[in-house]
Amino acid sequence: MGKKRIILVLMSILIVIGGCTMNKKDEATKEEKKNDNAEIVSVQDYTGEGFHGEYNQTTDRIVKRNYEELELIANEYMQENFKTDVEITSYIPLENIAVVLFKTKKEPVIHSSFYVMVDHKDRSLIHQFNAHEGEVEQSIVSGLYHYAYEEEFNKFNEKIEELKDKYPVVSLTEEAHEKTYISMYREKNYYISMSSLSVPSVLDFYKETNEVISKEEVRTMFELIESSEEISKGIVIRLYMKEAGTHSDKKLLNNLIDDMSKFSFLLKGSYTINLMSNDVLKKSGHGVENEDLSIIFENKEEK
């Protein structure tokens, strides 16, 4: 009987320990799910918070304290390389680094970004303009392309708005769009990807011009280039599922493609619709799930 009692006691202890272990595992699993969910949000609720990474309060305080130097870093670089002044539109304070969004003061307005290293020990900024290779240049030429063909792109955007009225899809909120606009020409509904290497004369013209650039000047330059060779560029329509929790829908994407293909668009390029889930990743602004297909315009008289 003594042995049986000992065995029963030991079994009871093991059950209690096992129960505690399971409870801890359950709590850990719940915490992991909570952390995962914290990184995901419905597109309608996405404000751009968490874009590029986790907010760092120390970096934020240092940048605010040295804001004039931040503006100086941006303007020194842009004046030296592109003869233009810029203003900071916002910044993203991360650990030991700040991603800085800016726009040019002269027309056409070009949006782009750079980053600065932040010294937490000295509570200062490292006085150096850093950017991914070609990123600022890409922002300039894609912005100039949109500027030159603004009327055509306005009609293009109107067509996308019609799709949003007809189908259960939405775009980023204005706030999220502004806070995640780091490179290339972007609207809420689409963006233009174009390498400066394909239009070096346009970039050189921008670098050498101090005055306001007219649409006619830029358009003439693009038309001259495309009369002899095709400029490599992509226009991507970016839409999200409207209903909360819905995944990207291939059938809906096909309907969007069919509808969009009937639109008469005159500009050469590769066109794609990227349809994303309603849930987005805060770090990138992309959907948790994505589907994309190319658009072939049926009535296309290319320029």
Residues 4-16 pLDDT 10s: 454 444 444 344 4
Bridge partners, 194 (sequence order): 233
The CA distance from 134 to 190, in Å, is 20
Give the tens place of pLDDT for each residue, 205-252.
999 887 788 999 999 999 999 887 778 889 999 999 999 999 999 999
The whole-number pLDDT of residue 67 equals: 96
Residue 273 pLDDT > 60: yes
Structure tokens at 74: 């941006």
Q: For residue 41, how far is the Cα from the chain centroid?
A: 16
How far apart, in whole angstroms, are the C-alpha atoms of residue 147 and residue 80?
A: 23
Residue 89's CB is within 10 A of a number of other CB atoms, namely: 14
Q: What is the DSSP string of 162-214?
A: HHHHHSSEE---HHHHHHT--SSEE-SSEEEEE-GGG-HHHHHHHHH--SPPP
Band of residue 37 on the pLDDT scale cut at 50, 70, 90: low
Residue 68: Cβ-neighbour burial (10 angstroms; 0-12, 13-18, 19+) = exposed
For the record, the structure tokens of 1 come out as 């009987």
Q: How many CB atoms lie within 10 A of CB 169?
A: 24
- Classify residue 134 by its DSSP letter: T
Instruction: Give residue-wise pLDDT tens across range 167-207.
Output: 999 999 999 998 888 889 999 999 999 989 889 999 999 99
Report which residue type is found at 293: L
Q: Give the pLDDT score at 27.
A: 44
Domain ranges in the chain are 57-131, 136-294
pLDDT at 79: 94
Q: What is the CATH number of domain 57-131?
A: 3.10.450
Token couple for 112:
């782009």
Q: What is the mean pLDDT of residues 141-170?
A: 95
